[in-house]
Amino acid sequence: MNDRVKFEIGADQDNQELREQIDRHTAWSREEMLSGSWWHSIELTDGTITPGIHPLTELRDYYQRLQLPDDLSGTRLLDIGCWDGFYSFEAERRGASVVSVDCWRPDNFFKARQALGSACEFHELSVYDVSRDRLGRHDIVLFLGVLYHLRHPLLGLEQVCEVTGDFAVISSHIIDGFYNSLHPVMEFYEVDELGGQYDNWWGPNVDCLTRMIRAAGFARTELLHQEETRAIIKAWRNWDDRPHESTPSLEIVDIVNAASLDHVFPLSGRRAFISIRVKGLAPVASRDDVRVEIGGFGINPVYVGPWIGPYPDDQLQINAPIPPGLLPGPVEVRVWREDRESQTETIELQPGGRW
């Protein structure tokens, strides 16, 4: 048996330095490699398959349900809640540059990474500490089987959105197989009511989960797969229906802070909402068909209707939150509805503004 060097890993410790320490001091024998409790079955370079609770065929089938591109070359992918690392290593095998995150240091991840010669970068972080400042922005984010473990699920989804550049794939336990409801609902588990585990807190239905994802800052969603107790949802940061008029037929008259009604725009926090005064929108325009884009990200408006104030009747008000993941500085704002779009206006985002 090899002597093992133990490391105390802080959330902000340099991961390259940590990896070099682990690789320098830890060399698992074949017996050690396959020992312990594995959640994922992972095929190693010599053909050995780790003894995971979930068989390789099941994991490969589930990966296909995520509907990721076959070729991920040039793609930055973040795997939040990586556990043993099957999805991280599979995405890397298909060409992605992968960052893996979990709230603890799973030895099996490092065993598999060593055996595969993987370059996956690991960070020991709570999802609440996942941020663009720490990890940057990633084209694709995987958030698989984590949501129902969170005491604060909407906050967790907001952090996921902050680091997503193109789309995230989110899977969760759901309750649709047990409850028929016409409303977005979520069941709370105080102790161990779900699966006898004390760290399972929530069971949303699909409607609730979808609405939470949009409320967290994603523009649109698609239900990829649903079973009685599990669903997979793809969530995009951008709209896919922007028109391209040669001359804009909607006019942004003014943009103000929705809370203070001035031109100071905090980057985040409870005052991070804008009001856009638009001329030319049909009176029947609604939150369901008006598109808002801020800093290149689509965002769902929270209000579309008459402007409260001494303005002409042909000017409507659109209120929308600042999307997660933007940086301080100038950002472009535009709106559209069906085949009509506005010109682009610029606002200046200010740092700070957390709750």
Helix/strand/coil (H, E, C) string of 52-75?
Answer: EEECHHHHHHHHHHCCCCCCCCCC
Q: What is the pLDDT of residue 32?
A: 74
Do 222 and 76 share a domain, yes or no? yes
| 115 within 8 A of 93, measured Cβ to Cβ | no
Do 229 and 278 share a domain, yes or no? no
CATH number at residue 228: 3.40.50.150
Bridge partner residues of 7 (DSSP): none
30 lies in some domain: yes
Do 26 and 98 share a domain, yes or no? yes
- Look at the block and give the residue holding tokens 């769902």: 300
| 78 within 8 A of 105, measured Cβ to Cβ | no
139 lies in some domain: yes
CATH number at residue 330: 2.60.40.10
Looking only at the bridges linking them, the beta strands covering 220-226 and 121-124 are unpaired
Q: How many domains does the chain have?
A: 2
Structure tokens of 310? 């001494």
Do 226 and 262 share a domain, yes or no? no
Range of the domain at 46: 15-236
**CB contact burial 248-274 (16+ within 10 A = b; e otherwise):** bebebeebbbbbeeeeebbbbeebbbb
* Final residue of a structural domain among 181, 203, 236: 236
10 lies in some domain: no
Do 126 and 257 share a domain, yes or no? no
Do 269 and 175 share a domain, yes or no? no
Cα 108 versus chain centre, distance: 25
d(CA 90, CA 168): 16
Q: What is the pLDDT of residue 55?
A: 97
Looking only at the bridges linking them, the beta strands covering 315-321 and 273-279 are antiparallel
d(CA 257, CA 266): 9
| Residue 98 main-chain phi, psi, to 5 deg | -115, 135
Do 207 and 269 share a domain, yes or no? no
d(CA 152, CA 161): 15
Per-residue pLDDT of the chain (355 residues; tens, 9 = 90+): 233 233 333 344 445 555 555 554 467 776 777 777 899 999 999 999 999 999 999 999 999 999 999 999 999 999 999 999 999 999 999 999 999 999 999 999 999 999 999 999 999 999 999 999 999 999 999 999 999 999 999 999 999 999 999 999 999 999 999 998 999 999 999 999 999 999 999 999 999 999 999 999 999 999 999 999 999 999 999 999 999 999 999 999 999 999 999 999 999 988 999 999 999 999 999 999 999 999 999 999 999 999 777 667 789 999 999 999 999 999 999 999 999 999 999 999 999 765 4
- Look at the block and give the residue holding tokens 């473990």: 149
Do 302 and 156 share a domain, yes or no? no
Do 160 and 281 share a domain, yes or no? no
Kindly report the number of other CB atoms within 10 A of residue 306's CB atom.
11
